[in-house]
Amino acid sequence: MRAVLALDQGTTSSRAILFDHAGKILAVAQQEFTQYFPHNGWVEHDATEIWQAQLAVARQALQAADLQADDVAAIGITNQRETTVVWHRGTGQPISRAIVWQDRRTAAFCDTLRSAGHEPLVSRLSGLVIDPYFSGTKLRWILDHIPDARQLADQGDLAFGTIDSWLLWNLSGGRRHVTDISNASRTMLMNLATGQWDDELLELLQIPRSILPEICPSSHHFGDSAPELFGRPIPLGSAAGDQQAALFGQNCTRHGMAKNTYGTGCFMLMNIGEMPRLSTQKLLTSVAWQTATGKQYALEGSVFIAGAAIQWLRDGLGLIQSSAEVEALAASVSDSDGVYLVPAFAGLGAPHWDAYARGTVVGITRGTTKAHLARAALEGIAFQVADVLTAMQQDTGIELQELRVDGGAAANNLLMQFQANILQTPVVRPQIIETTALGAAFLAGLTVGFWQSPDEVAAVWQAERTFFPQMSDSEAQYRRERWGNALDRSRAWEPRIS
pLDDT tens digits, 384-437: 999 999 999 999 988 889 999 998 889 999 999 999 999 999 999 999 888 999
| 342 pLDDT above the threshold of 70 | yes
Q: Are residues 175 and 257 part of one domain? A: no
Whether 220 and 258 map to the same domain: the answer is no
Q: What number is the average pLDDT over the span 319-332?
A: 89
Confidence of residue 498 (pLDDT cuts 50, 70, 90): very low
How big is the CA angle at 292 (ends 288 and 296), to the nearest 5 degrees? 20
CA separation for the pair 344, 487 (Å, rounded)? 9
Number of domains in the chain: 2
Judged against a pLDDT cut of 70, whether residue 495 lies above it is answered with: no
Q: What is the pLDDT of residue 493?
A: 66
The reported pLDDT for the residue numbered 34 is 86
Give pLDDT, residue 243: 92
CA atoms within 13 A on the CB side of 459: 8
Which residue would you say has higher pLDDT here, 172 or 323? 172
User: Is residue 57 pLDDT above 60, yes or no?
Assistant: yes
Answer yes or no: is 239 within a domain. Answer: no
Residue 54, pLDDT above cutoff 60: yes
Residue 172 lies in a domain: yes
> Residue 301 and residue 388: Cα distance in Å, rounded?
6
Residues 325 and 418 in one domain: yes
How many CB atoms neighbour CB 42 within 10 A? 15
pLDDT of 496 > 60? The answer is no
Residues 257 and 204 in one domain: no
Residue 339 has pLDDT above 60, yes or no: yes
The DSSP call for residue 170 is H
Digit-coded pLDDT (tens) for 290-309: 998 889 999 999 888 888 88
* CATH classification of the domain holding 43: 3.30.420.40
Minimum mean pLDDT range among 46-50, 117-121, 229-233, 348-352: 348-352
Q: Across the chain, what does the average pLDDT equal?
A: 92
Are both 224 and 261 inside the same structural domain? no
Cα(409)–Cα(419) distance, integer angstroms: 12
> Given pLDDT bands bounded at 50, 70 and 90, which one contains residue 20?
very high
Do residues 179 and 262 share a domain?
A: no
The DSSP bridge partners found for residue 287 are 297
Q: Are 129 and 119 in contact (CB under 8 A)?
A: yes
Under DSSP, the state recorded for 438 is H
State the DSSP H helix or E strand holding residue 410, giving kind and residue range, or none if neither. none
Is the model's pLDDT at 1 over the cut of 80? no
Instruction: Give the confidence band of 350 by pLDDT, cuts at 50, 70, 90.
Output: confident
Integer Cα distance of 84 and 256 in angstroms:
31
Q: Are residues 272 and 135 in the same domain?
A: no
67, pLDDT greater than 90: yes
Closest C-alpha to 387, from 490, 458, 277, 496: 490
Domain edge (last residue) among 234, 266, 281: 234
Contact 153, 141 (CB under 8 A): no
Alpha-carbon distance values, 354 to 292, 476, 492, 495 (Å): 40, 25, 10, 12
CA–CA gap between residue 271 and residue 116 (Å, rounded): 33
Of 202, 234, 266, which one is at a domain's C-terminal end? 234
- pLDDT given for residue 25 in this prediction: 93
In a domain, 190, yes or no: yes
Same structural domain for residues 349 and 435?
yes
| Same domain, yes or no: 263 and 364 | yes
Torsion angle in degrees (nearest 10) through CA of 240, 446, 277, 396: -110
Quickly list H helices, 252-323: 307-311
Structural domain includes residue 13:
yes
Residue 374 confidence (pLDDT) above 50: yes
Which pLDDT belongs to residue 105? 86
Residue 246 lies in a domain: no
Examine the domain organization and report whether 283 and 164 are in the same domain: no
Whether residue 13 contacts residue 30, with contact meaning beta carbons closer than 8 Å, is answered with: yes
Phi, psi at 330, each rounded to 5°: -65, -35
Task: Count Cα neighbours of 437 within 13 Å in the Cβ-side half-sphere.
Answer: 27
Judge if 299 and 201 occupy the same domain.
Answer: no
From 178, 201, 234, give the residue that closes a domain: 234
Is 68 strand, coil or helix? coil
Q: Report CA torsion sign: 139, 141, 142, 148.
A: positive
Is the per-residue pLDDT at 58 higher than 70?
Answer: yes
Least confident among 29-38, 277-286, 348-357? 348-357
Task: Report if pTM > 0.85.
Answer: yes
Q: How large is the angle between the packed helices 107-115 and 135-145, nearest 10 degrees?
A: 110
Peptide bond into 351 cis (omega under 30): yes
In this structure, how many other beta carbons lie within 10 angstroms of the beta carbon of residue 245? 33
Residue 266's beta-bridge partner residues? 262, 303
What is the Cα–Cα distance from 498 to 490, expressed in whole angstroms? 21
Query: What is the C-alpha to C-alpha distance for residues 436 and 408, in angstroms, rounded to an integer?
Result: 12
State how far the Cα of 340 lies from the Cα of 383, in Å rounded to an integer: 10
What is the per-residue pLDDT for 168? 98
Q: Which comes out higher in pLDDT, residue 198 or 41?
A: 198
pLDDT at 480: 95
Q: Say whether pLDDT at 497 is over 70.
A: no
Residue 114 lies in a domain: yes
CA 443-7-444 angle, to 5 degrees, is 20
> In whole angstroms, how far apart are CA 62 and each of 4, 58, 67, 164?
11, 6, 5, 21
Burial class of residue 260, CB neighbours in 10 A (0-12, 13-18, 19+)? buried
Pair (46, 155) in one structural domain: yes
The answer to whether residue 295 sits within a structural domain is yes
What is residue 494's predicted lDDT score, i.e. its pLDDT? 60
3-class secondary structure, 109: helix
- Answer yes or no: is 455 within a domain: yes
Average pLDDT of span 64-69: 94
- For the ranges 32-41, 154-163, 307-316, 348-357, the maximum mean pLDDT occurs at 154-163
Q: What is the pLDDT of residue 307?
A: 81
Domain that holds residue 36: 3-234
